[in-house]
Amino acid sequence: MRLTTAQALVRWLTAQRTELPDGREAPLFPGVFAIFGHGNVLALGNALEESRRALPVWRGHNEQGMALAAVGVAKATHRRQVGVATSSIGPGALNMVTAAGVAHANRLPLLLLPGDTFTSRAPDPVLQQVEHFGDPSTTVNDAFRAVSRYFDRVTRPEQLLNTLPQAARVLTDPADCGPVVLALPQDVQAESFDFPDALFAPVVHRPQRPRPDTRALAEATTALRGARRPLLVLGGGVRYSRAAGRAIRFAEQHAVPVTETTAGRTEVPHDHPLHAGPLGITGSASANALAARADVVLAVGTRLQDFTTASWTVFAPDVRIVSLNTARFDAVKHGALALVADADEGLRELTDALGDWRADADWAARAAEERGKWDAHVDGLRTPAGTPTYAQVVGVVNEESTPEDYVLTASGGLPGELIGGWRALGEATMDVEYGFSCMGYELAGAWGAAIARPDGVVTSLLGDGSYLMLNSELFSAAFAGHGFVAVVCDNDGYAVIHRLQTGNGGAGFNNLYDDVRTAHARPPRTDFAAHAAAMGCATFPVDDLGGLRAAYRRAREVAKTEHRPAVVVIRTHPSAWTEAGAWWEVGVPDVAHRPEITAAHDDVAAGKAKQIRYL
- Per-residue three-class SS string for 308-357: HHCCCCCCCCCCEEEEEECCHHHHCHHHCEEEECCHHHHHHHHHHHHCCC
pLDDT in tens, 540-572: 999 999 999 999 999 999 999 999 999 999 999
CATH 3.40.50.1220 in the chain, residue ranges: 214-374
pLDDT, tens digit, 9 for 90 and up, residues 474-510: 999 999 999 999 999 999 999 999 999 999 999 999 9
Q: How many CB atoms lie within 10 A of CB 68?
A: 34
Percent of the chain with pLDDT over 70: 100
Phi, psi of 46 (to 5 degrees): -65, -40
Q: Residue 419 and residue 282: Cα distance in Å, rounded? A: 6
pLDDT band at 615 (very low <50, low <70, confident <90, very high): very low
∠ CA 83-86-88 to the nearest 5 degrees? 165
Calpha distance 284→116 (Å, rounded)? 47
Q: What's this model's pTM, rounded to 2 decimal places?
A: 0.97
pLDDT, averaged across the chain = 97
At residue 385, the pLDDT reads 87
CATH number assigned to the domain covering 214-374: 3.40.50.1220
Chain centre to alpha carbon of residue 511:
25
For residues 433-453, average pLDDT:
98
Find the mean pLDDT for residues 397-417.
Answer: 97
3-state class (DSSP) for residue 209: coil
pLDDT confidence of residue 613:
81
Q: How far, rounded to the nearest angstrom, does the alpha carbon of residue 569 sit from its chain's CA centroid?
A: 24
Dump the DSSP string for 491-546.
-SB-HHHHHHHHHTTPPP-SSBGGGS--S-SS-----HHHHHHHTT-EEEEESSHH
Q: Which residues, other chains included, contact 267 with Cβ-Cβ below 8 Å and sequence gap of 6+?
A: 234, 238, 239, 244, 247, 260, 424, 427, 428
- Please report the pLDDT score of residue 433 as a whole number: 98
Assign residue 311 a region (left: φ > 0; alpha: ψ between -120 and 50; beta: otherwise).
left
Query: pLDDT tens-digit profile of 326-351?
Result: 999 999 999 999 999 999 999 999 99
Task: Check the CA dihedral 567-571-575-576 and report its sign.
Answer: negative
| Rounded average pLDDT over 91-117 | 99
- Listing from the earlier edge strand, what are the strands of the sheet with 275-278? 275-278, 258-260, 230-234, 296-300, 320-325, 337-340
User: Among residues 75, 23, 21, 344, which one has the least CA distance to residue 210?
Assistant: 344
Fold of 2-205: Rossmann fold (3.40.50)
- Residue 2: its H or E element: strand 2-4
Span 225-256, pLDDT tens digits: 999 999 999 999 999 999 999 999 999 999 99
Contact predicate 44/115, CB 8 Å = yes
Within 10 A of 125 (CB to CB), how many other CB atoms are there? 12
Over residues 191-200, the mean pLDDT reads 98
Residues 6+ apart with CB under 8 A from 602: none
Q: Summarize pLDDT for 159-188 with one digit per residue, the tens.
A: 999 999 999 999 999 999 999 999 999 999
Q: Which amino acid is at 196?
A: P
Please, what CATH class does the domain formed by 384-571 belong to?
Answer: alpha beta
- Which has the closest alpha carbon to 322: 296, 303, 284, 360? 296
DSSP 361: H
Residues of the chain with CATH 3.40.50.970: 2-205, 384-571
Predicted local confidence at residue 154, as pLDDT: 98
Distance CA 584, CA 597 (A): 16
What number of residues does the chain have?
615
Is residue 99 scored above 90 in pLDDT?
yes
> Number of helices and strands (H, E) in the chain?
24, 23
What's phi and psi for 611, nearest 5 deg? -70, 140
- CA atoms 279, 281, 283, 286: torsion sign: positive
Give Cβ neighbours of residue 279 (< 8 Å, ≥ 6 apart).
233, 259, 260, 261, 287, 288, 291, 308, 314
Burial label, 287 (beta-carbon count in 10 A; 0-12, 13-18, 19+): buried
For residue 375, what pLDDT is reported?
97
15, 50, 74, 568 from 540: Cα distances, Å: 43, 41, 30, 5
Residue 71 near residue 110 (C-beta atoms within 8 A): yes
> Could you give the CA distance from residue 447 to residue 458 in angstroms, rounded to a whole number?
9
pLDDT tens, position by position, 9-53: 999 999 999 999 999 999 999 999 999 999 999 999 999 999 999
Neighbours of 229 (CB within 10 A): 20
Task: Give start and end residues of each alpha helix (H) in 401-472.
Answer: 414-421, 441-452, 464-469
Partners of 460 in beta bridges: 408, 486
* Distance (Å, whole) CA 367 – CA 444: 38
What amino acid occupies position 23? G
Compute CA distances 280 → 133, 314, 609, whole Å: 47, 7, 18
Task: Please give the Cα distance from 513 to 138 (Å, whole number).
Answer: 42
Name the 3-class secondary structure at 600: helix
Q: How far apart are CA 131 and CA 147, in angstroms?
A: 22
